[in-house]
């Protein structure tokens, strides 16, 4: 009986570590997160360059992110209005004005597509939470307002959220 109990405890610890442990470049972890947001809410804290997925009971999954450059950050409440795997990207007019050499559309899966492996579009704007083809940009103020994540992390978050999930961005 003692051997079976030890084996069960070891298997449970390994399973928990597999869920909470980051993979490769990903850096998500379970952290204390006291807030009034209900479980299942995405909270982006831009000055920390972190995204939190609330789990309830004072905990959240924390992911490092890249956020908007100076003058391009925003704050507010919205929701996820679309989920896309390997999305194509059409640069908005503001980006095309700053970078006129960009094509009208960059196909999904292209190494030049800044959306990475997946995107969660946000209601009421031109913003998304998405992967990246430039992993070194994570942790910086780098975008035109979108929230960038490691591809491994957006894949993880993508599986946890649904269309309609609330998103709160605070500075």
CA distances from 35 to 43, 52, 65 (A): 10, 11, 20
Residue 55 annotated to the active site: no
Order of strands, sheet of 147-148, starting from the edge strand that comes earlier in the sequence: 29-32, 59-64, 50-56, 42-45, 166-170, 76-85, 118-122, 128-130, 147-148
Which listed residue (146, 157, 167, 169) is catalytic? 146
| Whole-angstrom distance, CA of residue 41 vs CA of residue 60 | 9
Catalytic residue selected from 130, 153, 158, 161: 130
Residue 130 annotated as catalytic: yes
- Around Cβ 51, how many Cβ atoms within 10 Å? 27
| Pairwise CA distance, residues 156 & 23, whole Å | 10
Cite the active site residues: 130, 146
């Amino acid at each position: 009986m003692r051997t079976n109990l030890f084996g069960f405890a070891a298997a449970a610890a390994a399973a928990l570590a597999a869920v909470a442990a980051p993979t490769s470049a990903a850096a998500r972890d379970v952290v204390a997160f006291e807030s009034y947001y209900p479980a299942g809410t995405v909270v982006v804290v831009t000055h920390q360059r972190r995204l939190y997925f609330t789990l309830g009971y004072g905990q959240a999954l924390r992911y490092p992110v890249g956020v908007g450059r100076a003058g391009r950050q925003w704050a507010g409440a919205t929701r996820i209005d679309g989920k896309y795997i390997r999305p194509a990207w059409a640069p908005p007019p503001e980006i095309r004005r700053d970078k006129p050499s960009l094509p009208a559309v960059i196909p999904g899966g292209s190494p030049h597509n800044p959306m990475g492996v997946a995107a969660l579009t946000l209601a009421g704007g031109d913003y998304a939470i998405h992967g990246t083809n430039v992993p070194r940009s994570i942790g910086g103020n780098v975008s035109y307002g979108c929230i960038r994540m490691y591809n491994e992390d957006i894949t993880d978050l993508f599986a946890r959220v649904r269309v309609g999930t609330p998103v709160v961005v605070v500075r």
